[in-house]
Amino acid sequence: MTKKTDAIKERLQAYAEMRRDHEIQLERLERLRASMEYKSPSFEPVPGGGGGDKDKMTNYVAEVMELEKEIGDDLRIMENERRALDHLIRKIPKADERAVVRMKYFDGMGWTDITRAIFHREPDYKTAARAYQQRTYKLHGSALVSLAKIYISETEKNEKTKPKKSQ
């Protein structure tokens, strides 16, 4: 990868990592909720006051609420970044290049699945799958070059229109 594509590629990879972290946090939330159901408190009188199960449940509820808040905050950040990236991606002139970038970074698809999605209608796809995979890599590379140019142009335009701070 050339230096000019590094910034946009890092941003795309950071978004993909955010998306993956979000999926992991959702799975964690599901596990917490499931363990809350499994450990429902017993309300039988306990000599000496008890309350241990109730305290554990309170802790679970607090943990679930905190995690839900974190997930919501992260989701808003992720949605804003996705919109910003998609704004740039829509400016890539070639549809196949746009598709590769979206499938790779937004959908988290692997190279084989991306290749199949783009080229499966080609009559020789099954016999030339490896060649189509190479084409997919080239589409990705040229998409990154196009995206880098767009990103640099947008960044420069934003810098020019940004109000200067008075000192």
* Residues sharing a CB contact under 8 Å with residue 8, sequence separation 6 or more, in sequence order: 88, 144, 147, 148, 151
User: In the prediction, which pLDDT does 163 show?
Assistant: 74
Mean per-residue pLDDT, 112-139: 97
Encode pLDDT of 91-122 as tens digits. Answer: 999 999 999 999 999 999 999 999 999 999 99
The Cα 163–Cα 44 span in angstroms is 66
The Cα 27–Cα 34 span in angstroms is 11
Q: What is the value of pTM for the model shown?
A: 0.77
**Pick the residue with more confidence: 148 or 35?**
148
User: In the prediction, which pLDDT does 112 show?
Assistant: 97
User: In the prediction, which pLDDT does 44 show?
Assistant: 55
Write 21-27 long-range contacts (CB < 8 A, 24+).
21/74, 22/71, 22/74, 22/75, 22/78, 25/67, 25/70, 25/71, 25/74, 26/71
Q: Please give the share of the chain, as a percent, with pLDDT higher than 90.
A: 68
Encode pLDDT of 139-152 as tens digits. Answer: 999 999 999 999 99
User: In the prediction, which pLDDT does 3 show?
Assistant: 83
User: In the prediction, which pLDDT does 1 show?
Assistant: 47
Q: Where are the domains of the chain?
A: 3-161
Q: Please give the share of the chain, as a percent, with pLDDT higher than 70.
A: 86
Judged by average pLDDT, the poorest of 5-9, 18-22, 42-46, 135-139 is 42-46
Encode pLDDT of 37-69 as tens digits. Answer: 765 555 555 555 555 566 778 888 898 999 999
